[in-house]
């Protein structure tokens, strides 16, 4: 099924940028790029060796420069041990 947030925003006249900041799962960046292409949303990536915080910061800077009004940062999520 299609992710609700990323796919619905362009239909609401939002210019969306997805930021690939999950550098811990080997296929995460590729998966996000495939998703972005399928829903016609640009994906910003700095590769799997970059720091997730730097990726998010650079994505926001790119968004400001290029007129994106929405940035969605895909992260690894919680990594804590219960």
pLDDT value at residue 48: 94
| pTM to 2 decimal places | 0.83
Q: Mean pLDDT for each consecutive 10-residue tract of the chain (82 residues)? A: 64 88 93 93 96 97 97 82 50
pLDDT value at residue 3: 56
Please state, in angstroms and as integers, the Cα–Cα distance from residue 31 to each residue in 61, 64, 71, 81, 82, following that order.
23, 25, 17, 25, 27
Burial class (CB in 10 A: 0-12, 13-18, 19+), 48: middle
User: Would you mind telling me the total number of residues written for the chain in this entry?
Assistant: 82
pLDDT value at residue 1: 47
């Amino acid at each position: 099924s299609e992710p609700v947030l990323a796919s619905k925003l362009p239909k609401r006249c939002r210019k969306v940028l997805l930021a690939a900041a999950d550098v811990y799962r080997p296929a995460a960046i590729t998966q996000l790029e495939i998703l972005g292409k399928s829903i016609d949303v640009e994906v910003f990536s700095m590769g799997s060796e970059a720091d997730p915080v730097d990726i998010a910061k650079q994505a926001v800077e790119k968004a400001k420069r290029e007129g994106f009004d929405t940035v969605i940062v895909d992260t690894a999520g919680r990594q804590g041990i219960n």
